[in-house]
């Protein structure tokens, strides 16, 4: 690693793994620079990283105590070179190189869109978001935060929705340990100076999620401040500077997703022009094009906008019954994630008292419609530690059943689940000619007569034979049906199986069938 041979050239201190960094890992250079005046306002720093035609130029950031950092997440294997650029000579023109090596087991790269409505990791491995919500778990202190991580390590969730700023809301009125700006709570802030300790702590938790294989869906703004700290009504310049600082610190983490806001339409101090500007900042300054969206309350955002990678939707009614969840796929032509469908819990608010059965049913309804649903839990706790806000431990019965569904989807559907016949058979999802999942919801049938629409049979010849398994989504059992069922065309629209007996069902709700070719 070399630098310019001048007296003012900085020494570049790399992390211990800096000479060799795995693909999609995190490389960092640290430089000593000026501490006078205001480094957050007066110093500009970036670095250009290049390898074999691939190039990134992320911004750097001031991390306090005279240390400046620039981070890169290399996306190809080989030798990468870098050169810094700055308006300060102490930081300008430092050069060096590092080797990007093969990713370690479990590192599949960042998530991206696959086949319009689904997701995959950068190496092509399918990714199915079975997420949960813990809005401000990173603001609860070491004990609860470690408890949250221990819970997540044994839970089925592979995405966590989480706020950057602390939250002041029902069951969540405690002061955080760290604040994003220098000053004193609740409102005596110097918005021109970030507190690096706050951001170091937050990014450590993002790294903890990465170690667990969990995506961090980072909520950049939220309305649950109402002026108490004032983070919901900062000036335009402060908003923009905050976004660029956070992106500089976090974009190189491959598990980062950006959510511009939770319930953006409740933030009365922001206009639609503000949200468009924020989106532009994220697009311009995140060199890795991480997943991007914005979450609504009453008013839908225009998810057709090019900057949006997927729709992050609040709508509980969409996943109450068959067919509704899929209605958003066509107008947006993007993955649909119902990130808030109400929560399993027992609070008085109507948004937080779903039964576990209803929570699981809503996740199944989303999956059958070719969409995705995020879990949440709001059980009253004597110390006001509710999972949806603070994390801690899970008390509900839905997570293990969501884990059961996740296993079924991952085992069955490498290409994702899509509606097979959205005009007629809303219970059926899969891929034509490959595999099918049929969900009966709250109906209680005692038998099923083999019947698949002709669209499902694309790629099959007459007389195709199938294995069928009966799935109890609540008791979490899978029972194979004896023998094979042979399908023949009957009329214009269906394939049926008259020569085989009907499939017996237990006459209870929440049953499903898995149907795969023999």
H/E element holding 283? helix 272-285
Give the CB-side neighbour count of residue 183, counting CA atoms within 13 A.
Answer: 15
H/E element holding 400? helix 398-412
394 neighbors 387 (Cβ within 8 angstroms): yes
375 neighbors 130 (Cβ within 8 angstroms): yes
**Residues whose CB is less than 8 angstroms from the CB of residue 223 and which lie 6 or more positions away in sequence, other chains included:** 232, 261, 262, 263, 266, 267, 268
Asked if residue 401 and residue 331 are part of one domain, the reply reads yes
Residue 41 within a domain = yes
Q: CATH no. for residue 322?
A: 3.20.20.80
Asked if residue 429 and residue 388 are part of one domain, the reply reads no
Asked if residue 276 and residue 132 are part of one domain, the reply reads yes
Asked if residue 423 and residue 408 are part of one domain, the reply reads no
Q: How far apart are CA 489 and CA 452, in angstroms?
A: 9
Closest CA to 248 of 34, 66, 108, 40: 40
Closest CA to 219 of 257, 245, 255, 253: 257
- Domain boundary residue, one of 385, 412, 439: 412
Asked if residue 140 and residue 278 are part of one domain, the reply reads yes
Q: CATH no. for residue 49?
A: 2.60.40.10
Task: Quote the pLDDT of residue 491.
Answer: 82
Task: Quote the pLDDT of residue 18.
Answer: 62
- For the CA atoms of 205, 206, 211, 212, the dihedral, rounded to the nearest 10 degrees, stands at 90
Q: CATH no. for residue 477?
A: 2.60.40.3950
Q: How far apart are CA 208 and CA 216, in angstroms?
A: 10
Q: How far apart are CA 141 and CA 143, in angstroms?
A: 6
Number of domains in the chain: 3
Q: How far apart are CA 418 and CA 118, in angstroms?
A: 9
- Three-state secondary structure along 308-331? CCCEEEECCHHHCCCCCHHHHHHH
Q: What is the domain extent for residue 30?
A: 12-101
Residue 264 within a domain = yes
Asked if residue 326 and residue 180 are part of one domain, the reply reads yes
Angle between helices 272-285 and 236-250 (to 10 degrees): 30
Asked if residue 382 and residue 350 are part of one domain, the reply reads yes
Residue 244, helix vs strand vs coil: helix
Task: Quote the pLDDT of residue 455.
Answer: 81
Other C-beta atoms lying within 10 Å of the C-beta of residue 500: 18
434 neighbors 452 (Cβ within 8 angstroms): no
- Domain boundary residue, one of 372, 388, 412: 412
Question: What does the pLDDT profile of the chain (518 residues) look like in tens digits?
Answer: 433 333 333 344 433 246 899 999 999 999 999 999 999 999 999 999 999 999 999 999 999 999 999 999 999 999 999 999 999 999 999 999 999 999 999 999 999 999 999 999 999 999 999 999 999 999 999 999 999 999 999 999 999 999 999 999 999 999 999 999 999 999 999 999 999 999 999 999 999 999 999 999 999 999 999 999 999 999 999 999 999 999 999 999 999 999 999 999 999 999 999 999 999 999 999 999 999 999 999 999 999 999 999 999 999 999 999 999 999 999 999 999 999 999 999 999 999 999 999 999 999 999 999 999 999 999 999 999 999 999 999 999 999 999 999 999 999 999 999 999 988 899 999 999 899 999 999 999 999 998 888 888 877 777 788 999 999 999 999 999 999 888 888 888 888 887 777 899 999 999 999 999 98
Residue with the two structure tokens 């409102």? 187
Residue 112 within a domain = no
Asked if residue 455 and residue 384 are part of one domain, the reply reads no
Asked if residue 292 and residue 154 are part of one domain, the reply reads yes
Residue 110 within a domain = no
Q: How far apart are CA 101 and CA 23, in angstroms?
A: 6
331 neighbors 411 (Cβ within 8 angstroms): no
Residue 106 within a domain = no
Asked if residue 174 and residue 67 are part of one domain, the reply reads no
Token digits of residue 260: 């511009």
Residue 108 within a domain = no
Phi, psi for residue 99 in degrees, rounded to 5:
-105, 125
Residue 389, helix vs strand vs coil: helix
Asked if residue 216 and residue 147 are part of one domain, the reply reads yes
Closest CA to 12 of 69, 78, 74: 69
DSSP class of residue 90 equals T
Q: How far apart are CA 53 and CA 73, in angstroms?
A: 15
Asked if residue 451 and residue 336 are part of one domain, the reply reads no
Residue 174, helix vs strand vs coil: coil
Residue with the two structure tokens 């929560």? 343
Residue 448 within a domain = yes
- Domain boundary residue, one of 358, 391, 412: 412
Cα–Cα separations (whole angstroms), residue 370 to 365, 412, 434, 439, 494: 9, 14, 15, 13, 21
Q: How far apart are CA 353 and CA 377, in angstroms?
A: 9
């Amino acid at each position: 690693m070399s630098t310019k041979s001048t007296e003012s050239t900085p020494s570049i201190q790399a992390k211990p793994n800096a000479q060799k960094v795995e693909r999609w890992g995190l490389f960092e250079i640290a430089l000593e620079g000026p501490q006078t005046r205001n480094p957050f306002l007066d110093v500009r720093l970036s670095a250009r990283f290049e390898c074999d035609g691939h190039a990134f130029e992320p911004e750097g950031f001031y991390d306090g105590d005279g240390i400046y950092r620039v981070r890169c997440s290399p996306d190809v294997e080989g030798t990468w070179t870098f050169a810094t650029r700055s308006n300060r000579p102490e930081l300008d023109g430092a050069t060096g190189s590092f080797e990007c090596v093969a990713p370690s087991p479990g590192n599949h790269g960042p998530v991206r869109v696959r086949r319009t409505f689904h997701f995959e990791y950068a190496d092509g491995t399918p990714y199915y978001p079975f997420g949960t919500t813990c809005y401000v778990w990173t603001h609860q202190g070491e004990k609860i935060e470690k408890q949250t991580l221990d819970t997540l390590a044994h839970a089925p969730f592979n995405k966590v929705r989480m706020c950057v700023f602390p939250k002041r809301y029902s069951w969540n009125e405690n002061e955080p340990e760290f604040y994003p700006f220098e000053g004193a709570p609740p409102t005596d802030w110097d918005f021109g100076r970030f507190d690096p300790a706050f951001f170091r702590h937050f990014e450590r938790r993002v790294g903890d999620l990465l170690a667990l294989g969990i995506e961090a869906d980072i909520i950049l703004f939220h309305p649950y401040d109402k002026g108490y700290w004032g983070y919901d009504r900062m000036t335009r310049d402060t908003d923009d500077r905050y976004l660029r600082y956070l992106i500089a610190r976090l974009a190189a983490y491959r598990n980062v997703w950006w959510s511009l806001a939770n319930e953006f339409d409740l933030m009365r101090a922001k206009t639609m022009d503000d949200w468009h500007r924020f989106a532009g900042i994220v697009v311009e300054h995140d060199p890795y094009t991480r997943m991007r969206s914005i979450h609504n309350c009453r008013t839908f955002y225009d998810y057709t906008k090019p900057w949006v990678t997927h729709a992050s939707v609040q709508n509980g009614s969409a996943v109450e019954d068959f067919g509704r969840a899929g209605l958003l796929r066509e107008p947006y032509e993007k993955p649909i994630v119902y990130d808030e469908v109400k929560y399993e819990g027992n609070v008085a608010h109507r948004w937080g008292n779903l039964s576990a059965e209803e929570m699981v049913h809503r996740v199944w309804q989303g999956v059958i419609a070719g969409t995705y649903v995020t879990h949440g839990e709001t059980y009253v706790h004597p110390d006001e530690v509710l999972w949806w806000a603070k994390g801690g431990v899970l008390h509900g019965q839905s997570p293990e059943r969501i884990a059961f569904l996740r296993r079924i989807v991952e085992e069955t559907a490498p290409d994702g689940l899509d509606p097979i016949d959205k005009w007629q058979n809303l219970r059926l999802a899969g891929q034509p000619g490959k595999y099918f999942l049929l969900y009966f919801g709250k109906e209680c049938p005692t038998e099923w007569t083999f019947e698949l629409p002709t669209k499902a049979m694309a790629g099959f010849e007459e007389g195709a034979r199938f294995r069928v398994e009966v799935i109890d989504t609540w008791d979490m059992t899978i029972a194979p049906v004896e023998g094979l069922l042979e399908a023949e065309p009957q009329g214009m629209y269906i394939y049926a199986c008259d020569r085989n007996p009907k499939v017996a069902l237990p006459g209870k709700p929440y049953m499903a069938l898995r149907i795969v070719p023999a």
